[in-house]
């Protein structure tokens, strides 16, 4: 058995209203959810308080982004302190949509991760290669470069869950095969061993994201270095419960 608790995050992205969130909360309450899985849902910032107040307490709530400083003249941004003040403990940072739609570079994401950890949040940093990187055999090079950028700002690995999300698999219905995902997860764990230490490599959850569904989650969950999932589209549907229970 893995020493790492299975972890399933949902990423609602820019979807839902209060009525839709009520629906999600209802199927989450019905479950039943495996007690062996840690569950967190990432919700739009304007619904953080609403979701925290209505979602069962054993389910963590994440913001989908936040800025790299505590407060100030940064119109439109929110800080980790505000996320905490809304009763939430988590933030997703560096999602591929933040990187590729909003142009967030590695250095900014790294600074955001650093500040969120300093402010006491738990963080889900996301990394992953584009299709052209994979086709050019540069997957390892790309994800290692993303890790190298994050490293100087990670002060506490016990509050980090690393998400590997190949960009070509996000929202496309194309999933990495269990073998493809396992290969990158094993490479990332080796990178942690080489660049941080063995203890961090063994204890850090590395979760897979990219078109995870009720149909493919069990095969992916069998792989030794896949410690859970980050789920987009399927996190809005009752299928999310099956994904939470993928490892039983
Ligand atoms: C995501 O948003 O992180 C994601 C993996 O989306 P999807 O599951 O829809 O591919």
Task: Tell me what pLDDT residue 248 has.
Answer: 83
List the structure tokens of 4.
């790492």
**pLDDT tens for each residue of 6-28:** 999 999 999 999 999 999 999 99
**Sequence-distant (≥ 6) Cβ neighbours of residue 27 within 8 angstroms:** 237, 238, 240, 241
List the structure tokens of 150.
């994050």
**Sequence-distant (≥ 6) Cβ neighbours of residue 35 within 8 angstroms:** none
Q: If phi over 0 gives left and psi between -120 and 50 gives alpha, with beta otherwise, what is residue 229?
A: beta
**Cα–Cα distance measured from residue 143 to residue 192, given in angstroms and rounded to the nearest whole number:** 12
- pTM for the model: 0.98
Probe ligand 1: pick from 16, 209, 226, 236, max atoms within 8 Å of CB?
209
Task: Tell me what pLDDT residue 1 has.
Answer: 65
Probe ligand 1: pick from 43, 171, 173, 226, max atoms within 8 Å of CB?
171
For the question of residue 95 being annotated catalytic, the response is yes
Cα Rg of the chain (Å, integer): 17
The full length of the chain comes to 248
Atom of ligand 1 nearest to the CA of 209: 5
The response to whether residue 211 sits with its C-beta less than 6 Å from ligand 1 reads yes
Per-residue pLDDT of the chain in tens (248 residues, 90 and over written 9)? 678 999 999 999 999 999 999 999 999 999 999 999 999 999 999 999 999 999 999 999 999 999 999 999 999 999 999 999 999 999 999 999 999 999 999 999 999 999 999 999 999 999 999 999 999 999 999 999 999 999 999 999 999 999 999 999 999 988 999 999 999 999 999 999 999 999 999 999 999 999 999 999 999 999 999 999 999 999 999 999 999 999 98
User: Looking at ligand 1, which residue's alpha carbon is closest to its atom 1?
Assistant: 232
The end-to-end CA distance of the chain, in Å, is: 12
Question: Coil, strand, or helix at residue 177?
Answer: coil
Task: Tell me what pLDDT residue 3 has.
Answer: 86
List the structure tokens of 99.
């990187």
């Amino acid at each position: 058995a893995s020493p790492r608790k299975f972890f399933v995050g949902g990423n609602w992205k820019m979807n839902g209203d209060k009525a839709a969130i009520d629906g999600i909360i209802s199927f989450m309450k019905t479950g039943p959810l495996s007690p062996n899985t840690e569950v967190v849902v990432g919700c739009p910032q304007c619904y953080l308080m609403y979701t925290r107040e209505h979602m069962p307490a054993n389910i963590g709530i994440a913001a989908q982004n936040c800025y790299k400083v505590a407060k100030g003249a940064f119109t439109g941004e929110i800080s980790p302190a505000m996320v905490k003040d809304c009763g939430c403990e988590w933030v997703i940072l560096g999602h591929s949509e933040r990187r590729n739609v909003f142009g967030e570079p590695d250095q900014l994401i790294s600074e955001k991760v650093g500040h969120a950890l300093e402010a006491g949040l738990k963080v889900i940093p996301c990394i992953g290669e584009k299709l052209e990187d994979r086709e050019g055999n540069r997957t390892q090079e790309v994800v290692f470069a993303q890790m190298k950028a994050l490293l100087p700002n990670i002060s506490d690995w016990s509050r980090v869950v690393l998400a590997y999300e190949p960009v070509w698999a996000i929202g496309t219905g194309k999933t990495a095969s269990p073998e493809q995902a396992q290969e990158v997860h094993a490479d990332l764990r080796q990178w942690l061993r080489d660049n941080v230490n063995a203890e961090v490599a063994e204890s850090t959850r590395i979760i897979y994201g990219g078109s995870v569904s009720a149909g493919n989650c069990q095969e992916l969950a069998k792989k030794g270095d896949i410690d859970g999932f980050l789920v987009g589209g399927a996190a809005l549907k009752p299928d999310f419960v099956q994904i939470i229970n993928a490892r039983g």
